[in-house]
A and B are shown apart, each in its own frame.
Chain A
Amino acid sequence: MSGLFMKSIYKSFGNVPVLKGVNFHVQKGEVHALLGMNGAGKSTLMKILAGDLSANEGTITIDGADYRFSSPADAKKAGIGLVVQEVDTALFPSLPVYENIVADDIVNAKRQPLLSRKQQKQQAEKLLEQVGLSLPLHKPIQTCTLHEKQLIVLAKVLSSSARYIILDEPTAALSEVETKRLFQIIKQLKAQGVSFIYISHKLKEVKEICDRVTILRDGIVVHSGNAAQLSIEDMISHMIGRSYERNEKAKRAYSDEVAFEVKQLHIAKTNTTVDLQIRKGEIVGIAGLAGAGKTEFAESILAATKTSGEWFIHGKRYTFSSPQEAIAAGICFIPEERRKQGLFLRETVRTNLTVRLLPLLAKWQWILRKKEEEVAQQLIETLRIHPPFPHAIVQHLSGGNQQKVVIGKWLHTNGDVFIFDEPTKGIDINAKTEVFSIIRSLADKGKAVLYMTSEFQELLDIADTIYVMANGRLIRRFAAETTTYEQLIYYSSGGGENGSNNALAREAVSS
C-alpha cells in the first residue's frame, strides 16, 4: 500500500476539539494541497504528521508501515520533511551553505565516523543540484536571499531522504519569478517520486501546481478531490462553508474632502510604490493575506522603515523620514504586535495612555500628576477599560483592554489619520465590538481611518472603501456595500490576474 495515510485523526487542546476525525491521503509522487481558513486545523494536522504534536486518536501509515511519532526525529526517520514558513528558524545563519545542508547528517552520525569535509561538500553539491541552485558552497547563510534559503532548507530536507515534504506557505514571500522557479523544482522532484503537501492561501498557485486538494473546515475534511476539476470559487465556498450574504449595512456618510493622501509611497520590502487617498471621515480597509505587505505599507506611512514618497495631510505636503515627524504631523499608528510595539507592559495604564500627552500635562517639564490622573481616568471611562484604575499595570490586562490602551494613547492627540494594523488580533468578540465602535466614532469626528486586516469579514462590517493588497500593491478597489467576502478572498488569493473572465471578476468590474 503506497502513499501516506492519516486515518481518523482526533486532536483537542483542553476542551476544544481542533481535529474531529480527519482522513488525509497523499499519493506517491503528487502535489497535494491542504486548504482551509485560519483555525480550520491545517497546522495542527501537519504538526501531528511532523511529530511536533501527538494525536489523541488515529493512525499514520506510510508506504504500508504504521507509525506513531513521539518526536520530530521519529517523523524525519519515517521520511517526512518539513519546509517551514519561517525558513530562518531552520538554518544556522553564520555557517556556510554546505554545512547547513549536511547538518542533520552530522547530528545523526552517532557511531559511524563523521563525513570528511570533502564528502560533506560533495553531498551538499549533489543536493543543491537537485533543487536547481548553484551557489558557492562557502557562502554564509546570512548573505543568501530568502528564496535561496528556502531551497537550501528543501535540500536539507532531501538530505534526510524525505519522501513526503510539507511546504508551509512556500511562496508567501517570493516574487513571481522565484515562484515559477520553485514550481519547476517541485515538478522535477515529483517526477522522482517525492510527494508534497502544499499549504497555501494563494489559490491561483494551488490550481497551477497541485494535483489534488483536501479542504479542511472546523476540523473536518469537507472536500477532497482533483485540483483540476475544482474552480477557485468552489475552493473558497468549501473553505468558508456558508455563502456569505451581501453586506446589508447602511452606507456611512463621509465628506468629499481628501484628508490624507500618499503618492508614490515606496515599500522597501516588496520594492513597490502605493498611492492612496482617504477622505475626511472615511474608513478605508486594506484586505490582504499574511505576507501581502500590509504591515510594511503601514510602517512606510509612519516612516518607521526606510521609505520615500509624498504625504499630504489636509492638502499640506510632507516628506517624512522618521516616525517622530509623521506623528508630529498627525499620523496615529496602532501596530499589529501590540505587546512588542504598542505597549509599555510593566508600566501603568496611566503612563501608557498619556505618553503622547505629556507636553500638555507638564509645566516646565514637571508632570502635573493630578491632571495626568484626570486625563487617564477620562480616557479609561471613554474606552471602558477594565479594570477602571489608572494605576493598573498593563501586562495584567486582557488582550482587548490592552488594545484599548494602545488606541487610547492617540485619542486626545488631535491626530488626523489613524492607521490600524490587525487591531482585533487575539481579542474576544466583545472587545472587538468595542474597538469597532471606537473606530466608527473616530471616523464620525472626521478622522481619516485606514484599517488593515486579513480577516475580511471585518472589513465588510467596518470599512467604507476596501482595497485588496497583494505583493505590496493595491490591486483592486471596492465600495464596501457592493462587494462580497468571496470577492475579497478571490482577489487577494491571486485570482483575477491575467484578465480572468469569470463571474466574480465581472461582478467586480460592474460594481
Chain B
Amino acid sequence: MAQTMLSPVKRSPLNFLYKHGTLLAIFVVIIYFSLTLDRFLTYENFGDILRSISIVTLVAIGITFSLIVDGFDLSVGSTVSLATIASAAALVLYRQEIFVTLLVPLLLGVAIGLLNSLLIIKLKLPDLLATLATMYAVNGIQLTYTKGFSIYNDMPLPDGGTAPGKFIPSFLFIGQGEIGGIPFSVLLMLLVVAFTHLFLTYTKPGRLFYMTGENREAARLAGIPVNRYRTYAYIISGFFAALGGIVLASRIGTGQVSAGASFLMDGVAAAYIGFSVFGAGKPNVIGTLFGSILIGVLLNGLTMMNVPYYAQDIIKGAILVGALALSHVQKK
C-alpha cells in the first residue's frame, strides 16, 4: 500500500524544471544580456541592479509574510510612498536628525499594518478588499499632505521662504553609501533576508506563521493563536514596506509623491516567483530574493536595450504567469 510513496522523487527533466526553472531563467537572462549588451556585464551595472533590487526585496519580504499566513497585502506600494514622503518631510520641512527621520516612517508602516489587521481580523473583511481600501486611503493621505508636490532640498515654501532642512549625509548614506565597495542598501537587504530566512525557517514563531497559513482551522484547534500571528504578519508587512520607502527616499534624495506605486506589483511578482524557487511551493524569503533578482536583471537589461518602460510590464506579467504556472502545476 505504501510502496509507491517510498520511491524516490522522479528525476525527470520536468521535475528539474519545476525545481530550478526560476534559477535557470535568471541564468539564461544574464547570459543573453551579457552577449548582446556591451555594458551589461560591468561592476557598475551590477551595483545598479543590486541597488534597485534592494528596495523591491524589502517590500517583497513584507508581502511574503502576509502570503505565509494565507493573507495578502495590496497596501505596501502606498506605504512605500507614504514612508518616502514622511522621511523627506521630517528632514526638509522639520529639520529632524536621523533618529526621528527613521522612526516616523517606520511607525507609520506599523500603524498601517495594524489598520489592515483590524479590518481583516476584527471586521472580517476579505484581505484583498481591505488592503485595497487601505492602499487608496494611504495614497490619498500622502498626496493630500504634499498637495501633490515633491519635497526636496531648498524647496520654496508657501509663505515665501525656503525649506529649513535638507537631506542630511547620514540619511543619504542608507541609499547611496558604500561599505567596502558594497552599497549599504544591498548590505541592509542581505541582512534582512538572512535574518527573516533564519527566523521563518528555524524558530518557533516562524514555524507557527507557516502553520497558521497552511491550515488556519487545524492551527486554531491545535491551540495556536492564529489571529495574533495574522496581525503580526500585516504589521511586519507594513514595517518592511516603510523600510523600503526610507531606502527609496535616501537613494533619490527627494520625497517624490506616489513613488512607491510600482513596488507593489514588482514585490508581488517577486514573492510569487519565489514560490517556485527550489520547488518550495510556498512563500519563502530566499525564493523572494531570487524573484526580485530575476525582475531586477530583466528590467535593467531591457532598459539598456531601450525597451520603453511601459512595454517592460508585458515582460513582467509573462514572467509572473510562468512562475505561477510552475508552482501550481507542481502542486497537482
A binding-site residues for B, Cβ under 8 Å: 302, 304, 323-324, 326-328, 333, 335, 340-347, 351, 355-356, 358-359, 362, 365-367, 369, 386-387, 392, 396-398, 401, 409
Contacts of B1 in A (CB 8 A): 398
A409: which of B208, B222, B281 is its contact (CB, 8 Å)? B222
Q: How far is the CA of A396 from the CA of B9 in the complex (A)?
A: 13
Q: A343-B215, A387-B5 are in contact. Are A304 and B224 (CB under 8 A)?
A: no
CB distance from B160 to the nearest CB of A (A): 56
Q: A362-B203, A365-B203 are in contact. Are A356 and B223 (CB under 8 A)?
A: yes
In terms of DSSP, what is the predominant structure of the interface of chain A?
A: mixed
> Is B218 an interface position by the 8 A CB rule?
yes
Q: A343-B215, A347-B211, A387-B6 are in contact. Are A367 and B221 (CB under 8 A)?
A: no
Q: A304-B221, A333-B221, A355-B222 are in contact. Are A344 and B202 (CB under 8 A)?
A: no
Listed by A's residue number, 20 A-B pairs whose Cβ atoms lie within 8 Å are A304-B221, A323-B223, A324-B225, A340-B215, A341-B217, A341-B218, A343-B215, A343-B218, A344-B214, A344-B215, A345-B214, A356-B223, A365-B203, A366-B203, A367-B202, A369-B202, A386-B2, A387-B2, A387-B5, A398-B1
Q: Is A327 in contact with B222, judged by CB distance below 8 angstroms?
A: yes
Q: A351-B207, A398-B1 are in contact. Are A342 and B221 (CB under 8 A)?
A: yes
Q: Is B215 in contact with A345, judged by CB distance below 8 angstroms?
A: yes
Q: How far is the CA of A152 from the CA of B1 in the complex (A)?
A: 47
CB distance from B10 to the nearest CB of A (A): 14
Q: A341-B217, A346-B214, A386-B2 are in contact. Are A327 and B223 (CB under 8 A)?
A: yes
Q: A341-B218, A355-B211 are in contact. Are A346 and B223 (CB under 8 A)?
A: no
Chain B residue at minimal CB-CB distance from A335: B221
B224: which of A355, A396, A401 is its contact (CB, 8 Å)? A355
> Is B204 an interface position by the 8 A CB rule?
yes
Q: Is A356 in contact with B222, judged by CB distance below 8 angstroms?
A: yes
Q: Is A398 in contact with B211, judged by CB distance below 8 angstroms?
A: no
Q: Which of B2, B203, B218 has the most CB of A within 10 A?
A: B218
Q: Is B223 in contact with A328, judged by CB distance below 8 angstroms?
A: yes
Chain B residue at minimal CB-CB distance from A413: B223
From residue 198 to 232 of chain B, which have CB atoms closer than 8 A to chain A?
202-205, 207-208, 210-211, 214-215, 217-225
Q: How far is the CA of A335 from the CA of B223 in the complex (A)?
A: 13
> Contact residue range for chain B?
20 to 34
> Is B282 an interface position by the 8 A CB rule?
yes
CB distance from B195 to the nearest CB of A (A): 13
Chain B residue at minimal CB-CB distance from A325: B223
CB distance from A402 to the nearest CB of B (A): 12
Q: How far is the CA of A392 from the CA of B2 in the complex (A)?
A: 12
Q: Is B204 in contact with A367, judged by CB distance below 8 angstroms?
A: yes
B2: which of A358, A365, A398 is its contact (CB, 8 Å)? A398
Chain B residue at minimal CB-CB distance from A338: B218
Contacts of A369 in B (CB 8 A): 202
Chain B residue at minimal CB-CB distance from A362: B204
From residue 158 to 192 of chain B, which have CB atoms closer than 8 A to chain A?
none
CB distance from A310 to the nearest CB of B (A): 20
Contacts of A345 in B (CB 8 A): 214-215
Q: Is B225 in contact with A366, judged by CB distance below 8 angstroms?
A: no
Which 10 A/B pairs are nearest by Cβ-Cβ distance? A327-B223, A362-B204, A344-B214, A396-B5, A358-B204, A365-B203, A324-B223, A365-B204, A341-B217, A344-B215
Q: How far is the CA of A387 from the CA of B207 in the complex (A)?
A: 23
Chain A residue at minimal CB-CB distance from B214: A344
CB distance from A385 to the nearest CB of B (A): 10
Q: How far is the CA of A387 from the CA of B222 in the complex (A)?
A: 24
CB distance from A499 to the nearest CB of B (A): 40
Q: How far is the CA of A129 from the CA of B256 in the complex (A)?
A: 67
B binding-site residues for A, Cβ under 8 Å: 1-2, 5-6, 202-205, 207-208, 210-211, 214-215, 217-225, 281-282
Q: How far is the CA of A365 from the CA of B2 in the complex (A)?
A: 36
Q: A327-B222, A341-B221 are in contact. Are A346 and B282 (CB under 8 A)?
A: yes
Q: Which of B5, B203, B220 has the most CB of A within 10 A?
A: B5
Contacts of A341 in B (CB 8 A): 215, 217-218, 221
CB distance from A503 to the nearest CB of B (A): 43
Q: How far is the CA of A398 from the CA of B2 in the complex (A)?
A: 8
Contacts of A344 in B (CB 8 A): 211, 214-215, 218-219
Q: Is A304 in contact with B204, judged by CB distance below 8 angstroms?
A: no
Q: Is A340 in contact with B223, judged by CB distance below 8 angstroms?
A: no
Chain A residue at minimal CB-CB distance from B1: A398
Q: How far is the CA of A392 from the CA of B225 in the complex (A)?
A: 26
Q: A386-B2, A387-B5, A396-B5 are in contact. Are A323 and B221 (CB under 8 A)?
A: yes
CB distance from B122 to the nearest CB of A (A): 15
Q: How far is the CA of A351 from the CA of B210 in the complex (A)?
A: 11
CB distance from A401 to the nearest CB of B (A): 8
Contacts of B224 in A (CB 8 A): 324, 355
> 15 extra interchain contacts, Cβ-Cβ under 8 A, other than A328-B223, A345-B214, A367-B203?
A326-B223, A340-B215, A340-B217, A340-B218, A341-B215, A341-B217, A341-B221, A346-B281, A351-B207, A365-B203, A365-B204, A366-B202, A392-B5, A397-B5, A409-B222
Q: How far is the CA of A342 from the CA of B221 in the complex (A)?
A: 7
Chain A residue at minimal CB-CB distance from B223: A327
Contacts of B205 in A (CB 8 A): 365
Chain A residue at minimal CB-CB distance from B205: A365
CB distance from B201 to the nearest CB of A (A): 9
Chain B residue at minimal CB-CB distance from A302: B221
Q: How far is the CA of A341 from the CA of B221 in the complex (A)?
A: 7
Q: How far is the CA of A341 from the CA of B220 in the complex (A)?
A: 9
CB distance from A404 to the nearest CB of B (A): 13
Contacts of B223 in A (CB 8 A): 323-324, 326-328, 356
CB distance from A288 to the nearest CB of B (A): 20
Q: How far is the CA of A401 from the CA of B202 in the complex (A)?
A: 26
Q: How far is the CA of A426 from the CA of B219 in the complex (A)?
A: 22
Q: How far is the CA of A355 from the CA of B212 in the complex (A)?
A: 11
CB distance from A406 to the nearest CB of B (A): 9
Q: Is B203 in contact with A323, judged by CB distance below 8 angstroms?
A: no
Contacts of B211 in A (CB 8 A): 344, 347, 351, 355
Q: How far is the CA of A298 from the CA of B205 in the complex (A)?
A: 28
Contacts of A362 in B (CB 8 A): 203-204
Q: How far is the CA of A346 from the CA of B211 in the complex (A)?
A: 10
Q: How far is the CA of A387 from the CA of B1 in the complex (A)?
A: 10
Chain A residue at minimal CB-CB distance from B215: A344
Contacts of B202 in A (CB 8 A): 366-367, 369
Contacts of A340 in B (CB 8 A): 215, 217-218
Q: How far is the CA of A326 from the CA of B223 in the complex (A)?
A: 8
Contacts of A392 in B (CB 8 A): 5
Chain B residue at minimal CB-CB distance from A342: B218
